[in-house]
Chains A and B, each alone.
Chain A
Amino acid sequence: AQSVTQLGSHVSVSEGALVLLRCNYSSSVPPYLFWYVQYPNQGLQLLLKYTTGATLVKGINGFEAEFKKSETSFHLTKPSAHMSDAAEYFCAVSEGNKLVFGAGTILRVKS
């Protein structure tokens, strides 16, 4: 069975600083990977997805993620944090008809 580990339940960065949210996966087959963002009292919004092909995936809101098979990682980055990026972020791996989600990382952006 697939699994996802998100390192750090809380991450705090200053406005304008680099955002790095870590995700490691375990999969017995080539993985399909996703990052979602959730703002308070809202549903999850798809940020980006990795299926096959290019290992650097660009998403919405300036986020991108790099698939590294050797490290079984799919870390999410953004060069410069904005106050509006404060939210909870979920990494997920596909398992057939279902998604296996990580526990989530709450991103705090300090002014």
Chain B
Amino acid sequence: SQTIHQWPATLVQPVGSPLSLECTVEGTSNPNLYWYRQAAGRGLQLLFYSVGIGQISSEVPQNLSASRPQDRQFILSSKKLLLSDSGFYLCAWSSRIRNQPQHFGDGTRLSIL
């Protein structure tokens, strides 16, 4: 069966520090991969998605970036965190077949001080 792993579960970072969140998927090949953010009172915001290695689509311009160095690995990064980057970050995967459900990881709670 397929599983998705995100780490760390919680992270506290100072303003201006870098960020790296990692997500890996097991048990499937060639998945679509997604990064979302949930900020208080703002619902689910799609940040990036990827349909293949090195292929990244950005949904919201900001100081975050994403990379997909391997087929089942998706990384969310920032060079300098802002207070507004606080939130709950979720990674998800789906089949390449269109209109399929997405399957989510357990999330990372990021607090910026």
Contact of B44 among A32, A42, A49, A101 (CB under 8 A): A101
In the complex with contacts A97-B51, A101-B44, A103-B43, A45-B104 CB distance below 8 A:
yes
The answer to whether A43 touches B90, judged by C-beta atoms less than 8 angstroms apart, is yes
Q: How many chain B residues have a CB neighbour from A under 8 Å?
A: 23
C-alpha spacing A102/B42, complex, angstroms: 11
Q: Is B80 engaged at the interface, CB distance under 8 Å to the other chain? A: no
C-alpha spacing A107/B42, complex, angstroms: 17
Chain B 65-80 interface 0/1 with A at a Cβ cutoff of 8 Å (1 = within):
0000000000000000
Chain B residues whose CB sits within 8 angstroms of the CB of A43 once the complex forms? 6, 90, 92, 104-107
Chain B 98-113 interface 0/1 with A at a Cβ cutoff of 8 Å (1 = within):
1111111111010000
The answer to whether A41 touches B107, judged by C-beta atoms less than 8 angstroms apart, is yes
C-alpha spacing A36/B36, complex, angstroms: 15
The answer to whether B109 touches A41, judged by C-beta atoms less than 8 angstroms apart, is yes
With both chains docked as a complex, state the minimum distance between the C-beta of A79 and any C-beta of chain B, in angstroms.
24
Contact of B98 among A44, A45, A97, A103 (CB under 8 A): A97
Q: Is A96 engaged at the interface, CB distance under 8 Å to the other chain? A: yes
Given contacts A46-B103, A90-B44, A97-B49, 14 further A-B contacts (CB under 8 A): A41-B109, A42-B107, A43-B92, A43-B104, A45-B104, A49-B101, A94-B98, A94-B99, A94-B100, A98-B34, A98-B46, A101-B44, A103-B43, A104-B43
List the interface of chain B (C-beta within 8 A of A): 6, 32, 34, 43-44, 46, 49, 51, 88, 90, 92, 94, 98-107, 109
